[in-house]
Structure 1
Amino acid sequence: MSYMLGVYFVTGGLIVVGLVSVTTGSDYVVSRVGGNQTISLNVSQAGGEFRVGVVVNNTTEYLFLKFHNTDIERLNISRTWYRDRYRVRGNITSSVFRLTLYNVTTEDAGIYECQIFDKRPKVRGCKQLLIVAQNPSQPNITGPASAASGGSFTLTCSSSSRSLPPDHPPLNMSYTWRKNSEKIQGDGNASLNGPNLTVRHISREKEDNYTCQAVEEGLESDWSARHVLDVLYGPYTVQFNVTDDKVTATEGDPLTVRCSADCNPACTLAWLDTSKQRVTSGQREAVLSIPAVNRSLSDLYTCHVNNTHGNKSRNLKLDIQYGPQTVQFNVTDGKVTATGDPLTVGCSADCNPACTVTWRDTSRQRVTSSQMEAVLSIPAVNRSLSDLYTCNVNNTHGHKSRNFKLDIQCKSFRFVLTSNLPY
């Protein structure tokens, strides 16, 4: 409880007594529990002879007796909470009465003032409030639970003073903030203004933990509970579970490519083919799954990622590899060719990677060879040439062959017979 030390006139004298309730706006001193504190009262208006006492629970306990401005006598007291904890300081004839309390307790908090004993009017200037400082209450943090990356937010640290008496004038209360256990200095993107913390240009970290502490008269509160700020952001990059944007697959083999992105809230992902048709979609991850790759599939797929805070896309090039299925000639098989005429036959095949194409004659001798297409070129056909040529096509995924039959015919001649014989 709180009390007031009062000074009262008694039969021509004055009593300094008790602790009464607090009124704000008075001069005050602040002390911590266990410290020493001097109370200074202006008794110039109080008269020459007085007794000094303390009133607790409406009972007066006299501490000193002062006579004729010269003598002071310590009185016996029964209240142990004041015994041996006080001393009158300075010249006893002074107009300022100084009472020093030692080993201050919370029960010492209150207004110390002077009053005339019989009518109890207050003596002007004879008043001082003793505030006994206590640790502030554990703070609470109020503010948004989420904020968008790149934006700003403000948190407020709220704590109550527990110093006594409860209705004391406001004391200076400061605040300390931590982010993820590191102290915030209040520079750069963070600013401190009283109990408020404002953060600008929020980083993309998924979750930030903020705590605060209140400090009053050098006494610290407990740290607040964590305030978890959920940082919201769109996709920054799109990830594949393969190392490159180009994937090589062999025809007939299965293929699985996973697409994901770091987003908060989770992004919606969709795989689109070259015609922009949705192949598959999902939350947090979309899986492009092809049971058996074939050359008729789209060779380009796009993973599109989006949430309410942004969108991104990334292309995947599909390199489907396969061997030759058929061998093509650029002439009709078995074309009849006359002796002396030129002959050109191209041989090719659809392959990935490109096939090596080779022409061989009946003796298996290589006539010509090339990549993608080989051309059998005979400037002038003659009957000594091989009548059968084979085009061999191959890559790492397979091989094919096709024969070309050469039908060489002699050119026809027309003979005209003439005679000069007479009839």
Structure 2
Amino acid sequence: MFTEGGEKVHLNQVLKKPPSDTETVVGSNVQLKCSFNNLLENHTPQWQFKSSAGDPLVEITIGSQILNDKYQLTGDISNGEYHLFIPNVAQDLSGASSLFKETPSDTIKVVGSNVQLNCSFNDLKSQTPQWQFQRSPGGPIVEIVVGSEIYDNKYHLRGDLSKGEFHLFIPNVAQDLSGTYDCSLLDLPEDYRSAELTVLDFPKCRVRPQSTVVSDKDVVTFTCHINGNLLGDLVWLRNGEEISRRNAKTNEYRTTLKKADNGARYNCRYENQSVPSHIWPNPSCSEDIIMDVQYGPDVKINGSVIVVTEGESAFLDCVIDANPVAESHNWTKGDILVSPNLTHYIGRTKRDDAGVYECRASNTLYDGTSATGNETVFLVVECEFTVPVIFSLFMYYL
């Protein structure tokens, strides 16, 4: 409990985490940890104590003032830390927890799972138990169950209330039910037990700009959104192989795509040792992001120089790598079109066929840009009788 301008305020409105039930032996040292999200100047935290259910609450600390020398304060109050330390604890300092037989535990579940938060009391007598819910620190605290009356049909009660069992059951849990759940008595709301329910939704992968179709050397940003404020790593995968690992708070991966990335499959995986694998066996985006990286024609020819003997056939082969597929391709010699095909075939070469040939291709990228590529080859046609004729003339003059 703490006060704001003299008015009492429920802990969960500013509390990071309430203290936990503690069992120890006489003579031990005990520390009950309590810290707040944001203590303003007009916020005054306090510790209170009662020896058993129904007994009046006794103030033992108010702010930095300690009202009983059996207790000490630890932690940095400027950082919201307000821990109670009890050295050499005596048996008569036991209290409060005798109200509860079982208290709810922090729980992590995946969307669609069933959740049960257990809470039971030693002796309810004529008192009325209740469950309250707070979605986020500082937000409103909502009553969801009072006694046997359920105010929200997302919730159910389980257990035998006559035996003090007051368990909250949530079937097919949704992500918006993440938050803090308090179990307490209606007439004693300040003595409560809390559990943090974290409902994990599967990662959602996105790419910016908002398209999987890009050009070669475009810079893209992949984002991976995970519901739930958990610490851990985001692992980016390309074709199933890890390419980046970062703190989950950094949910972006920025890279320059090249034509080798065409058809690559990108995904992100969330890894957190506090989330057991049986709860979240495959925390990845449901679908890969498949990139369509477009680029102009890359033209290759089988050699830069081809030598044939006059009369032999010649094959000029052109291989084109383009995305989208080249719309046009041809062979030219000078300004003359000699073939519209990828292979230019000359069945019987003549000396006039010698020269520079060019293979040219073009396509149109997604943004309407026209791209071209070209490569040249030099065809050498040797005269078949050059060597024999010169040799005959040489022998004649001898």
Scaled by the length of structure 2, what TM-score is found?
0.49
| Structure number with larger C-alpha Rg | 1
Scaled by the length of structure 1, what TM-score is found?
0.47
Which structure shows the bigger proportion of residues in helix conformation?
2
